[in-house]
Amino acid sequence: MLATTERSQRIVIGRNRESQIADALVEQHGLKLEDASFSEDCFAKVDRWLLEGNKRTAMQIKYRETGDDLLFEVYNKFDGWYGKNKQGRDMVGQSKLYAVLRQDRKTVVITEVESAKRIIAEMTRIARVTGWTQDNGEQNKRLTYVKHGFTCELRVQRDHGDGRTKMIAYIPVGLLQAETQTRVYTVNMPANW
């Protein structure tokens, strides 16, 4: 499982899979994608640029091994609502679009990052005002949130790598499709996934 793999190895595997997804969109659907520079990837959290006419839109490519949802880092370091928190990479990244490979590994959904941020804003407001659905201490809190029949989660959890406390949102891809205009592509991913 990728989550238990060494960080440097996860990055190499992740970049390879991002390339496979991008290649499938280019080769099978004719999308024009341009690689992001190293600094755009590291600092702006941009994986590719989607080129449409004269428009160049920053895109991040996402996939999960488990769960048919978008994992969104809300806080990289979370020390309570009034603590010294550090926003997560997905909150500060400059990508405008997500290309999400669904769990079936045959469907890529392209959606706007802002739609995910709106759902997260709703969840954080609820957790702040009414409290957590489940609260088992500083590093184990959860808000379960149902919208349009889809169950989202906002979790405060321990980072597997260094033990810091962070906040992660899990948003079903189906909810993003219900909430906003999306583009859906059927792809044939390589057998050596």
Buried b (16+ CB within 10 A) or exposed e, 49-81: bbeeeeeeebbbbbbbeeeebbbbbbbbebeee
Q: What is the DSSP string of 88-103?
A: -HHHH---SEEEEE-T
Please state the pTM of the whole predicted model.
0.89
Q: Is residue 59 part of a domain?
A: yes
Q: Which domain holds residue 118?
A: 2-186
Q: Is residue 85 part of a domain?
A: yes
Q: Is residue 181 part of a domain?
A: yes
Q: Is residue 30 part of a domain?
A: yes
User: So what's the pLDDT on residue 3?
Assistant: 55
User: So what's the pLDDT on residue 10?
Assistant: 79
Residue 8 to residues 5, 46, 73, 99: CA-CA distances in angstroms? 8, 18, 18, 23
User: So what's the pLDDT on residue 181?
Assistant: 86
* Residue 156 β-bridge partners: 141, 167
Q: Is residue 63 part of a domain?
A: yes
Q: Is residue 192 part of a domain?
A: no
pLDDT in tens, 7-66: 788 788 888 999 999 999 999 999 999 999 999 999 999 999 999 999 999 999 999 888
pLDDT in tens, 143-169: 999 999 999 999 999 998 899 999 999
* Structural domain count of the chain: 1
Q: Is residue 141 part of a domain?
A: yes
User: So what's the pLDDT on residue 160?
Assistant: 85
Q: Is residue 156 part of a domain?
A: yes
